[in-house]
Amino acid sequence: MKSRSKFMKVIIDNAELIVLVAASVFILGMNIFGFRFSIGINLSIITAFLALLALNSARLHHERQSEREKTRQDREVLKDIRVLLKSHRPPIELVAPRERPDIWSEFEGVYYAWNAPFRLERDTDLEKSLETHVQRYRNTNFIKAKYFFFYGENSQHPDHKVFKRRFENYRRFVSALLTQCPEVQEKLETYIIPERLPGYTFFIGRRKDSDMGILYFNIEPFMSGDMPEWAFLIKEPSIIKSLRSQFDKKVYECNALGIQDVLKGDIESCAGLK
């Protein structure tokens, strides 16, 4: 099955060249067997060939540019890793969040969510997440949650498409959460930052009488689409302090949105992005 998939990918990726070669063989065969095309038809066919060749070259050029951009972004992520973990030998545990849903529960105090993906494509995803969050916001020891989203440098930037997808999931989630847990009304702040997506996501808060961070990087094998496959549980105070400082630097650059602002359609106006 894998070899068949790879074969089909080769066919699709090189469709223009395959058509070009097949048509060339056909015309050559027709000429060999005595069939002749008019000059006009020949010119039209040649023009079509050149157009297909140009299209294929343009596609390959775009793919090479995309690959270079991905490589550059990966290097930025690796740089982020080095900066965060430089000179530290912290207590870190590598976990698979799908197998450890308990890591999201029992947070108290102030909870910070940086670049949360919010992928809730199935009703079961929404239901499971709602159960955890309802318990969190009903806890009298839970003070507030602060979510930071990255809008992209502008509405035309590629990161903006990611923002729109994630924020629509977030909006849907908040709407459902509000119906089950009115307490969230006073315990949720949302921030939208007009910058590119960072190369990593993290959540920090107080859990079981100690500060804890959940950190993962937006590259394979840490991510599958918008969902984390692997994450670091961090309890080293110096790293948690470093992560928290990123919130503190950005929180003064944008307006805090309440739930009603989040549920409005024109989020750009509410966030002061227009």
At 159-175, the pLDDT tens digits run 888 888 888 889 888 99
Same domain for 156 and 35: no
In a domain, 175, yes or no: yes
How far from 119 is each of 81, 122, 162, 247, CA to CA, in Å?
24, 9, 11, 22
Does 194 share its domain with 62?
no
Percent of residues, the chain, with pLDDT higher than 90: 19
Q: How confident is the model at residue 2 (pLDDT cuts 50, 70, 90)?
A: very low
pLDDT digits (tens, 9 = 90+) for 41-86: 455 555 555 555 555 565 555 556 656 665 666 566 556 655 655 5
Q: How many domains does the chain have?
A: 2
| 57 and 104 co-located in one domain | no
- If asked whether residues 38 and 102 sit together in one domain, one would say no
Based on the domain organization, do 247 and 212 belong to the same domain? yes
What digits encode the pLDDT tens for the residues 86-113? 545 557 788 888 888 888 889 999 999 9
Single out the residue in 67, 99, 115 at which a domain terminates. 67
Q: Within a domain: residue 80?
A: no
Q: 221 and 141, same structural domain?
A: yes
Given a contact cutoff of 8 angstroms between Cβ atoms, the answer to whether 240 and 204 are in contact is yes
- pLDDT at position 33, please? 47
Query: Do 16 and 146 fall within a single domain?
Result: no
Same domain, 111 and 224: yes
| pLDDT the model gives residue 37 | 46
Q: Which residues of 48-65 are buried (b: 16+ CB within 10 A; e: fewer)?
A: ebeebeeebeeeeeeeee
Residue 79 lies in a domain: no
Largest Cα–Cα distance of the chain, in whole Å? 89
> pLDDT by residue (tens digit) across 230-251?
888 888 888 888 888 888 888 8
Nearest to 174 by CA among 274, 267, 243: 267
Q: CA 26, CA 79: separation in Å to the nearest integer?
A: 53
**Domain-embedded: residue 76:** no
**Residue 4 to residue 165: CA distance in whole angstroms:** 32
Tokens matching residue 172:
């849907």
User: What digits encode the pLDDT tens for the residues 127-163?
Assistant: 778 888 999 999 999 999 999 999 887 778 888 888 8
Q: Say which residues have a Cβ less than 8 Å from residue 159's Cβ, sequence separation at least 6.
A: 150, 151, 152, 153, 196, 197
In angstroms, the CA 226 to CA 248 distance is: 25
The CATH number of whichever domain residue 221 belongs to comes to 3.30.870.10
146 and 262 co-located in one domain:
yes
Are residues 103 and 20 part of one domain?
no
Distance of CA 205 to the CA centre of its chain: 22
Domain shared by 135 and 256, yes or no? yes
Domain shared by 59 and 98, yes or no: no
Tell whether pTM > 0.95. no
What is the span of the domain harbouring residue 151? Answer: 91-270
Which pLDDT score, from 0 to 100, does residue 269 have? 65
